[in-house]
Amino acid sequence: MISASFLSSKNIPLTLKELNDTDVDFIHVDVMDGKYVNNKTLPFKEMRHIYKYTTKRLDVHLMVLKPSNYIKNYASLNSEYISIHLDILEDVLTNLKLIKSYGIKAGIVLNPNDEVSTIIPYLPYIDLIIVMGVIPGEGSQKFIDKTINKLKELNVLKKEYPNFKFKISIDGGINNTIVKKIKTLVDIIVSGSYITKSNDYQTQINSLR
Ligand code: DX5
Ligand code: ZN
């Protein structure tokens, strides 16, 4: 499945409308607080308008130090997943439970330097693991090749813990070349600039499938 990020878009309403006309599976919503990462996304009072431009389900990526300040808001949108990082200022498990309390699937995001083993305690609570292919904070960066090992480790983990049905996603630096190396290791491919900087979104999406 493909999840499209509009982080690098200069015209978010137009990008969302054009993505809605494609067969993309999810819209990946990057939320940045200016603290967990340097960049800051629009406030929720602007972001909540997403529903006016798309009927696609949302895959929300919270790059914030205090997810509990954001979860209720994003849970009120058409969200399929809300995912949080591990190195936050709040308790991870409490936030995963908060996401699930709204009936939304919960995810954990692993940064390039986070070890796969760190997610083991959370396995009973997570539906999605997003592996960052770049350092979080901005779009259009180059894919860090060593993250492919993490995807392989996660696939091993999946076999070791068959009771836990988490999906594996990759986020950052994906294009039609990189995708060939990771396709068989992931369930959901997040792609931003490769799609949104093109003038034919559907062709780009097709080339990632
Ligand atoms: C990075 C974001 C990614 C990114 C994807 O901080 O989490 O979602 O914007 O964009 P590309 O595909 O351009 O790396
Ligand atoms: Zn993201």
- What does pLDDT average to in each consecutive run of 10 residues of the chain (209 residues)? 97 98 98 98 96 97 98 98 98 98 98 97 97 97 98 97 96 98 98 98 98
Instruction: Report domain extents, the chain.
Output: 2-208
pLDDT (0 to 100) of residue 100: 98
pLDDT (0 to 100) of residue 81: 99
Pocket, ligand 1, Cβ cutoff 6 A: 5, 7-8, 28, 30, 61, 134, 136-141, 171-174, 190-194
pLDDT (0 to 100) of residue 156: 97
Record the pTM. 0.98
Give the residue, by CA position, lying nearest to ligand 1 atom 12.
192
pLDDT (0 to 100) of residue 204: 98
Catalytic positions, please? 30, 171
pLDDT (0 to 100) of residue 144: 98
20: its two tokens: 């809605």
Nearest to 11 by CA among 64, 61, 59, 53: 53
How crowded is residue 115: how many other Cβ atoms within 10 Å of its Cβ? 11
Architecture of domain 2-208: Alpha-Beta Barrel (3.20)
Give the residue, by CA position, lying nearest to ligand 1 atom 9.
139
